[in-house]
Amino acid sequence: MKKLFTVDDFIVAFISALGYGFGEAISKLLGWPEILCGVASMVLGIVLQGIITRIAFSKAVQESLAKRIITYASVLLIFLVAQYIAVWWMGVDLLDYLSDEFVFVILFPVLGFVLNMLIRGYKAYRIRKRYGDGSNGYVFDLKKEDIDATNQENNLILGEYDKDCAVKTRIGIFVGEKTKKTISFLGIPYAKPPVGELRWKAPEPLESSDAVFEAKNLGASAIQVEHVGSILKNYRQSEDCLTLNICTGIKESETAKPVVVLFHNGDFSYGGTADPLLYGENFITEHPDIVFVSFNFRLGIFGFIDFSEVPGGDAYPDTLNLGLLDQIAALEWIKENIAAFGGDPERISVMGFGAGATSIILLAASRRAKGLFKKAFAFNGSPELAYATPDASRKLAKELLRETGASSMEELVQTQTDTLKEAAQRLWQNMCAPTCGGALLPADVYSACEEGAASGIDFIIGIPKNEAQNVRSIVGDQNFEEALSVVVSDIKNSTDSIISSEIDEYIRAQAELSNETAAKSKVLEQWNALYIYRIANSLSKGGNSVHLLYWNEKPLIENLGSGTIDVLATMLGNSEAAQMYGSVVNADLSEVLQSLLIKLINGADLQLYPNEIKGVGGIDWEVFPKALIVEDEKLICDTLEDRLTQIKGVFDYMTS
């Protein structure tokens, strides 16, 4: 993405070369010792390089071609005057200094570029060697010592502790851990453990406390379905999972820092903050003036189920959307306590992927979550992943009774965690997501957003082009094919006969080119993209500022796809985690997208003037319906209508 050597770099090198030359020539003319001549040369060269860099890459110069031409013409004039003075007064030719300087200025960037390409190529080679063609999905090469380290638990501290790493909150004092650039507080509880009598109950606030706790280890992930390609099956899980993690720059700021809260992915049935893709340290190393927070919430049968038709179920009225209530509790805890960690409770932004993105959109439309965040990055999420009625959740509750042999809520509450987990594993295809309607969510989220329910929130909405292979790599071939057939059948049943026929025709045509599974995958991806586009449209009509991001990067390994996982790693800068998942992060693309995300968080226009990031051209990210398209490691701003679907009539049907 970055240019190897731009005209701006040339001008900077030009002026710094003059500085090095004048520094040496003048000091020699004054009769200074050789060592001082070298020092003078370096000092003047570095000073002039710093000055011209600030000028050449400033917004004032870069905002228009005319200003760049005027600036560079002025630099040329300065050189001609300096050359005349040098020849006339000192008897030296600055062209000699320029030629020597440019050897280094040009050679080193070229060598650095080549070296980076070689390193990236070697990483890609190792990944391809480990994954082959990727047909077996995600395969993690985890070391036992790393797993053991991640699975350690925080303890109560009774003696002395490092007060430089300690933060006092209402619920206790938490002692984190410092690195050279960051300080992290891991595994902080944000609500009472939902165990025992609190199983399937709404999250309850923790009691006030002055106790001192370690905050050096991640909390347990929620009890979840363990797919063949899920990394979290290697890590600790528990019903006691309502914890969060905080990371920020080690240097204190004079003003409170903006806060970004990450909602994890996982189809509402798996996932959690122990996944290395979700670590915030790399992001904060690059952006130390941000406070980064991630958290866990209840999943699957522990977070989304309707017990209203189970004997005793009337005592558990919140089970339909417990996972969302956990998310609200986490945001409320952050708003109450984040100032102690240097964060600004009035500048909270959220960032979500997959189920996390869907959660953000649902909460944005919920009165219960009003005011808890003001900016949102939601990639690959739409209200379509939520249920319109509780019928599916009630069916899941009946199947859970059958699987466990329980006949009432009293018996379910007393059932062992392992028994419930095993039942959830067998029922994974029936796992429920949030349900619309009721006290928490509007019945029609699209209409609610169109009517202004999410007013006051600025959005980046992300659409993936090649997400299906990510899903297949996690759940495995057999589960993916079974679920795919059900989903495509549901899609056809939800449309009119004309569109249903067009879908059948599309599947037949695509199956001749590849196979039926690949054809159905494309239908699913297109339908998903259109639903995301639809919610972006609804938010825009409701008065929200909406920017679309369309991810169409080519995967390193075709069978692993390029979607949520790649975007997650790119946005957070987690290159090592990306390699675990069979991909390589483009560092330049990561820098650009992170810069745009920071602008969203800070409330700035989503624009980059030329060379704001050196070597990157200007980017003017226009609001919906325009989109920033990431494709072939390039960024362009254009409309998406002709990219979202190949099925005749579907775009008009879905967006009318």
The arithmetic mean of pLDDT across residues 324-338, rounded, is 98
18 and 167 fall within a common domain: no
Tell me if 140 is assigned to some domain: no
Cα–Cα distance for residue pair 265/68, rounded to 1 Å: 44
97 and 211 fall within a common domain: no
Tell me if 144 is assigned to some domain: no
pLDDT at 323 over 80: yes
Listed residue (259, 305, 306, 315) closest to 284, CA to CA:
259
CATH number of the domain residue 558 falls in:
3.40.50.1820
CB 280 within 8 A of CB 573: no
Query: Cβ atoms within 10 A of the Cβ of 305, count?
Result: 28
174 and 104 fall within a common domain: no
| pLDDT at residue number 187 | 98
Tell me if 649 is assigned to some domain: yes
Reading the block at residue 582, the tokens are: 């069979």
| pLDDT at residue number 654 | 82
100 and 194 fall within a common domain: no
Query: Cβ atoms within 10 A of the Cβ of 28, count?
Result: 17
The arithmetic mean of pLDDT across residues 327-333, rounded, is 98
Tell me if 167 is assigned to some domain: yes
Cα–Cα distance for residue pair 466/554, rounded to 1 Å: 9
pTM over 0.85: yes
Listed residue (54, 62, 48, 58) closest to 13, CA to CA:
48
Reading the block at residue 601, the tokens are: 């968080």
Cα–Cα distance for residue pair 399/424, rounded to 1 Å: 10
| pLDDT at residue number 106 | 67
Tell me if 2 is assigned to some domain: no
538 and 610 fall within a common domain: yes
Structural domain count of the chain:
2
Q: Among 64-68, 111-115, 370-374, name the most confident range.
A: 370-374
160 and 45 fall within a common domain: no
Tell me if 424 is assigned to some domain: yes
Q: Tell me: the pLDDT tens digits for 346-402?
A: 999 999 999 999 999 999 999 999 999 999 999 999 999 999 999 999 999 999 999
pLDDT band, very low/low/confident/very high, at 267 (cuts 50, 70, 90): very high
Q: Tell me: the pLDDT tens digits for 477-525?
A: 989 998 999 899 989 988 888 999 999 999 999 999 989 999 999 999 9
Listed residue (316, 317, 307, 310) closest to 408, CA to CA:
310
Q: Which residues contact 494 (CB under 8 A, 6 or more apart)?
A: none
Q: Residue holding tokens 């509402």?
A: 268
pLDDT at 53 over 90: no
Cα–Cα distance for residue pair 34/25, rounded to 1 Å: 11
Amino acid sitting at position 249:
G
Q: Tell me: the pLDDT tens digits for 128-162?
A: 999 999 999 998 988 999 999 999 999 999 999 99
Instruction: Report helix angle 65-85 to 34-56, nearest 10.
Output: 160
580 and 499 fall within a common domain: yes
Q: Measure Cα distances from 326 to 63, 299, 442, 588 in Å.
A: 45, 10, 18, 36
Reading the block at residue 461, the tokens are: 């909405």
Tell me if 362 is assigned to some domain: yes
Query: Cβ atoms within 10 A of the Cβ of 642, count?
Result: 9
CB 537 within 8 A of CB 553: no
The arithmetic mean of pLDDT across residues 532-557, rounded, is 97
User: What is the SS3 assignment for 432?
Assistant: coil
443 and 553 fall within a common domain: yes
Q: Tell me: the pLDDT tens digits for 201-241?
A: 999 999 999 999 999 999 999 999 999 999 999 999 999 99
Mean pLDDT of the chain: 92
Beta bridge mates, 157: 212
Residue 432, Cβ density class (10 Å: 0-12 exposed, 13-18 middle, ≥19 buried) = buried
Listed residue (265, 335, 268, 310) closest to 572, CA to CA:
265
pLDDT at 86 over 80: no
Amino acid sitting at position 79:
F
- Which residues span the domain enclosing 111? 7-126
Cα–Cα distance for residue pair 377/366, rounded to 1 Å: 17
Strands (E), 88-207: 156-157, 166-169, 172-175, 177-178, 182-189
Listed residue (483, 480, 482) closest to 470, CA to CA:
480
Instruction: Report helix angle 7-29 to 34-56, nearest 10.
Output: 150
162 and 122 fall within a common domain: no
**Cα dihedral 569, 575, 580, 582 in deg (nearest 10):** 80
Q: Which residues contact 91 (CB under 8 A, 6 or more apart)?
A: none
The arithmetic mean of pLDDT across residues 332-337, rounded, is 98
- HSE, side-chain direction, 13 A CA sphere, residue 527: 23
CB 37 within 8 A of CB 65: no
The arithmetic mean of pLDDT across residues 182-196, rounded, is 98
pLDDT at 461 over 80: yes
440 and 374 fall within a common domain: yes
| pLDDT at residue number 104 | 64
Tell me if 361 is assigned to some domain: yes
What percentage of the chain carries pLDDT values higher than 70?
98
pLDDT at 1 over 80: no
399 and 505 fall within a common domain: yes
Q: Tell me: the pLDDT tens digits for 561-612?
A: 999 999 999 999 999 999 999 999 999 999 999 999 999 999 999 999 888 9
96 and 182 fall within a common domain: no
